[in-house]
Amino acid sequence: MTYAIALLPGDGIGPEITKAAVGVLEATGLSFQWDEQLAGVTAIDVTGSPLPDATVESIRRHRIALKGPLTTPVGTGFRSVNVALRREFSLYANLRPACTMMPGGRFDGVDLVLVRENLEGLYIGVEHFIRVGGDPRAVAESTAIVTREGCERIIRFAFEYAVAQNRHKVSIIHKANILKMVSGLFLEVGRDVAREFEGQVDWNDLIIDNTAMQMVLRPEQFDVIVTTNMFGDILSDLAAGLVGGLGLAPGANIGADEAIFEAVHGSAPDIAGRGVANPAALILAGAMMLDHLEEHEQAARVRAAVQHTIVEDSIRTRDIGGTATTAEFGDAVARRLS
């Protein structure tokens, strides 16, 4: 079987790490047909748009994409391409695992998955200035929008994911003690959904600030974390810091019909073209893509190959304490799979 995948190499270090990730995925022996498309600053230079129609159509046609990091131009009318993709395809679930892979992470034994609501909350972008006296920008106001439907969809996703992946506990993270409505609704719906999974998955709920402290003190107590958009954005970076940084942090944006797999980190234009970027996050995102395709055995092989390359072979890029180039690291992981 050949898997047809939309491939968005992206900007900055994107093409370098994408090349390495593609090489690793092809080393599994699976067959891929890559439909390469433009997005981000590279797309603007060629088409005048950061998200060309051809790219959107490719993702819609294949229903699955592997995406390198994208740059949003500063000081232009273009909003985040990443946000635009999530909204275009209603990619409501942002899935970000954090797993200890190497010496040098903050903790051993971390193995958690953060499930972040991707389309609502403060990040929906409803904000404006209020004039006071002669100052038109005296007050800035932002509105968080949280719907019962959106809460149920993401919390149910988290519980169903926990069951499917043989995980044992879901932690519902909120600030309902202060944000009585927008966070209170999330907690209310979370408790309702949790009752449906009694006997299958344990659950608890924690306030966001306590969660941040507990993740640093005892990260092993967490299994699956589900939370709202901004809280998830913050906690997912904290989780990455526990296991060695964003260079080891893959992510997936999943909707009812389409899914886009990516590295969590940005495009790092300051090191683009120098061959020093860590491709591990995008390689691990490729493993998540294989799981989505139900190629679970191959996904496990890719994860093991990354870990063996880092730990046993001591081949590491400079962000995780080594001297290997992007290509050298990718080639080493691919050799582990051959």
List active site positions.
Answer: 123, 175, 209, 233
Question: Of 176, 178, 205, which Cα lies nearest the Cα of 190?
Answer: 205
Buried/exposed 314-336: b ≥16 CB within 10 Å, e otherwise? ebbbebbebebbbebbbbbbbeb
Contact partners, residue 310, CB within 8 Å, separation at least 6: 101, 102, 280, 316, 320
Amino acid at 157: F
Which residues, listed in sequence order, are joined to residue 126 by a DSSP beta bridge?
Answer: 143
- Distance separating alpha carbons of residues 68 and 10, to the nearest angstrom: 5
How many residues appear in the chain?
338
3-state secondary structure 237-272: HHHHHHCCCHHHCEEEEECCCCEEEEECCCCCHHHC
